[in-house]
Amino acid sequence: MQLVVARIGRAHGIKGEVTVEVRTDEPELRLGPGAVLTTDPASAGPLTIETGRVHSGRLLLRFEGVRDRTAAEALRNTLLIADVNPAAMPEEPDAYYDHQLMDLDVVLADGTEVGRITEITHLPSQDLFIVERPDGSEVMIPFVEQIVIEIDLDEQRAVIDPPPGLIDDRAEIASARDEETAEPADPEGSKGSKASEGSTGAENTGDAENAGNAGDVA
């Protein structure tokens, strides 16, 4: 099975290095020196990684045969694709590859249908499931252990325990009103008071460590 593991960004420097947008939780395995990757478009590859290093929080790669900025810039937006055994599991416990999570049914603990995972977005702080609801709308579910409480690959489902407001677009409204009190009549007019109204919703939080505890996405 072929999986996209990175997208090439802009050229860095003048010696052929490029920035890459990593799309795997196993960059050391998939994007290490010596790795041979096919590409999209196919005409840009295959590419063999010669060196890799982290600079200012970004992964920089140099490919064999790419020696200057012009050649590096020509690879911009190219997708890097690795061949992965579909039966293989990531080395870390409770970790999953994207293809294992795609199309899983998302349900609540009581079995209520939420939708289906159609996309997985990898952010610096956490991974997000993009879930298509039965009505065609989409909702984002943070892949953290507090929310995603079970991944059952045999049953092809992800069980979630969402906080209020995460999957319901009707945010909870908390209203505080003072009891009405009688006031003497004002010959110049009547006085009124405004009731304060505040809404509470889910705040999506999580970090890389939490995401790892819930289950990393490779």
- Summarised one tens digit per residue, pLDDT across range 41-59 is 999 989 999 999 998 888 9
Is the torsion defined by CA of 157, 161, 165, 168 positive or negative? Answer: positive
Whether 212 shows a pLDDT value over 60: the answer reads: no
pTM of the model: 0.51
DSSP element (H, E) containing 116? strand 113-122
Whether 14 shows a pLDDT value over 50: the answer reads: yes
Whether 140 shows a pLDDT value over 60: the answer reads: yes
- Are 144 and 210 spatial neighbours (Cβ–Cβ below 8 Å)? yes
Neighbours of 173 (CB within 10 A): 9
How many residues in total does the chain contain?
218
83-97, 135-149, 156-170: which range is least confident on average?
83-97
Whether 69 shows a pLDDT value over 90: the answer reads: yes
Select from 70, 56, 65 the least CA-distant residue to 19: 56
Q: How confident is the model at residue 93 (pLDDT cuts 50, 70, 90)?
A: low
At 76, give phi and psi (nearest 5°). -55, 135
State the amino acid at position 164 in one-letter form.
P
Q: Percentage of the chain with pLDDT > 70? A: 72
pLDDT of residue 86: 62
Mean local confidence (pLDDT), 104-117 = 94
Q: In which residue are the tokens 């293989």 written?
A: 88
Whether 190 shows a pLDDT value over 60: the answer reads: no
7-11, 12-16, 206-210: which range is least confident on average?
206-210
Whether 122 shows a pLDDT value over 90: the answer reads: no
CA distance linking residue 197 with residue 185, whole number of Å: 27
pLDDT of residue 218: 54
